[in-house]
Amino acid sequence: MTENYDNSTSPLLINESPLQVLPRLAVAIGLNEAIVLQQIHYWLRKQSEVKEGKKWVYNTYEDWQKQFPYLKMATIRRTFKSLEKQGLLITGNFNKYSFDKTKWYSIDYEKLDSLSRRCAQIEQTDCSNSTHATAQNEHTNTIRLPETTTENNDDMSGKPDASSSKSNYPERT
């Protein structure tokens, strides 16, 4: 007996609200950072309470891990610290009790806009640091190795056969 099911769906394909990230953002700040920043932006848009002129969200690292179950706790901590170090994530403590160390987060949208303008300038010149570095590393000087055949494969020592008039090694120019 065969099951009747729609083969155009799969539990591994998106049937729920996905986490979406712009590739430009991921290239600029890192993939995990882009995912986390996008999720914080999502939650900030749902907030109505404003403190110090900004909307804020708060969670413990454990709570954030529930939103990113595919990331290890150490990766989540490292990602948040990276976003703070880059100046894209602002932290605060607006907890009722001083012993509560839960961090509150907001995005520095001005810093993000300046990053966006820099990325646009780089795209216009079509020469970002990463592509420039890649281009530098593409050209290598290599020595062509001799082809291994049954004729020169008998001696595996790597030394040319003294009885042969031809060297197994290419001539240097």
pLDDT digits (tens, 9 = 90+) for 74-84: 999 999 999 99
Give the orientation angle of helix 31-46 with respect to helix 73-85, to 10 degrees.
80
Q: Which domains occur in the chain, in start order?
A: 23-125 (1.10.10.10)
Model-wide pTM > 0.75: no
Q: pLDDT band for position 40 (50/70/90)?
A: very high
Q: What is the pLDDT of residue 131?
A: 45
Distance, CA of 164 to CA of 13 (rounded, Å): 63
Q: What is the pLDDT of residue 164?
A: 47
Q: pLDDT band for position 112 (50/70/90)?
A: very high
Q: Please state the φ and ψ torsions of residue 90, each to the nearest 5 degrees.
A: -100, 135
Distance, CA of 93 to CA of 100 (rounded, Å): 9
Q: pLDDT band for position 141 (50/70/90)?
A: low
Average pLDDT over residues 43-63: 92
Given a cut of 60, whether residue 127 has pLDDT beyond it is no
Q: Given strand 104-107, what is the order of strands in its sheet?
A: 57-58, 104-107, 89-92
Give the CA distances from residue 167 to residues 23, 142, 154, 161, in Å, rounded to whole numbers and listed in that order.
Answer: 52, 18, 14, 8
